[in-house]
Amino acid sequence: MKIHFPEAIPSAPALVLVTPQDGPTTPAVEAVDRATGGQLGRALRAAEFVGRKGATLELLAPPGLDHDRLLLLGLGPPQEADALVFEELGGRIVEVLGTRAAAVAVDLSGLPTPRLALGAAAAHLALGALLRAWRHDRYRTTLKDEDRPRLAELAVAGAARAAEAFAPLDAVARGVFLTRELVTEPANVIFPESFVERVRAAAEPLGLEITVLDEVEMKALGMGCLLGVAQGSVRPPRLLALEWNGTGDSQATPALFVGKGVTFDTGGISIKPASGMEDMKWDMGGAAAVAGAMVALAARRARARVVGVCGLVENMPDGGAQRPGDVVTSFSGKTVEVINTDAEGRLVLADAMAWAQQRWQPDVMVDLATLTGAIIVSLGHEYAGLFTPHDDLAAQLSAAGDATGERVWRQPLGKPGSPYDKLLESAIADMKNVGPREAGSITAAQFLQRFVADGVQWAHLDIAGTVWKTKPGPTHGKGATGFGVRLIDRFVAQTRETAA
């Protein structure tokens, strides 16, 4: 969708006016009311439209206007209208007009925005529309005409410096769309090798430095945990690393993000129930988020050094698959008794995290993974689980989540040797990969904590409940949300670039 910010309202099939709740009408609304001979005011009174957030009133063929549709959109109380509110309004425009108009003009002239500059408000409204308009119709050949998206152009007028504010948001949307694409594609299309190539095509033109390890190289490095998961699949595993350095200093200490990339998860020998297994194409949502975030950071030329690592495998139950009870040796040298082959993501992350820390020596590491169903039981689909022993890091990630709408909720995490940690004790190896049924998300985080190097601030984000939604949201349709991209981008902006 083409987005631009003209000074004057262009000719378009649809015109949108945003009006605050219970407040004076804006100059834009007053001008349109005069142009329609008072018909707009009559309609507002007849509908008892008071501008509640997201409320709409649509007039067809309004008299005196060169627009086929006029949409009134409620802002809600202006003092509560932050960036996320404007993103929701942009999404609402697409929801209402996306299949009805080829072009939409929005007039924000004189709109009160005490929480942020009007140009920033316009930029976030445009971002919300852009995010909500994303669809994946590649395999849909029988869509009815009335269900096909028509909206191809959005013009937002009446706000100075909106284009300047929108440029970095547009870059971040580019990363979100890559993540949604990777998560949405079926597992016969996206598997470890094709994941790498899809990301490479997006990353190389932006100047990201790319490293790929194949099965032979990982075996030579001793990545027994990751390779054990992959050994039941005909699809060979890959380890993908993306590096961006916008600091100008080759010695700058990087922030590290590591993503779980199980491109399809049957559970292996500990096979999952058949019902709903098709959803396991998105078990690579953590890796997809890391890849999308790296593209976003490079696209907006972030002034930070950041490394993203994706551990990519397919977990299948063939005759060569890993068995419950097998013992594997990790890259770090620690041994793991594999009690349940469906607790595979933590094995992939263990080797990816340990290797990346050794190679890049970060001071901060955050992993993202669709790791446990238990986190969905705990938090549903509104928050990701946040596990970290570092209060400052928890606060920073929580702030980034609140600012972008990709919210996290901190969960308990025990110190080494704590009761939670002891749930992973094995009778024959350094640890086992699962604990008992209770505290499943916590013991998964306890497992990962064992592979964090001394001196590294680390957080684990369990995003199992947030990468895929069965219902549309304000800025996404049904399906892939792109969760994690904007969270990472904001975290980097607030914690790495502000200090640059």
* Active-site residue list: 272, 346
Residue 406 near residue 383 (C-beta atoms within 8 A): no
Buried b (16+ CB within 10 A) or exposed e, 233-268: bebbbbbbbbbbbbbeeeeeebbbbbbbbbbbbbbb
Helices 391-404 and 83-97: angle between axes, nearest 10 degrees: 40
Pairing verdict, β 335-337 and 56-60: unpaired
Q: How far apart are CA 344 and CA 369, in angstroms?
A: 11
Q: How far apart are CA 124 and CA 165, in angstroms?
A: 8
Q: How far apart are CA 427 and CA 407, in angstroms?
A: 38
DSSP code, position 78:
G
Residue 323 near residue 340 (C-beta atoms within 8 A): no
Q: How far is CA 302 from CA 47, 61, 63, 174, 204, in A?
A: 47, 46, 48, 14, 16
Strand arrangement, sheet containing 408-410: 209-213, 238-245, 305-315, 255-265, 364-369, 457-462, 384-387, 408-410
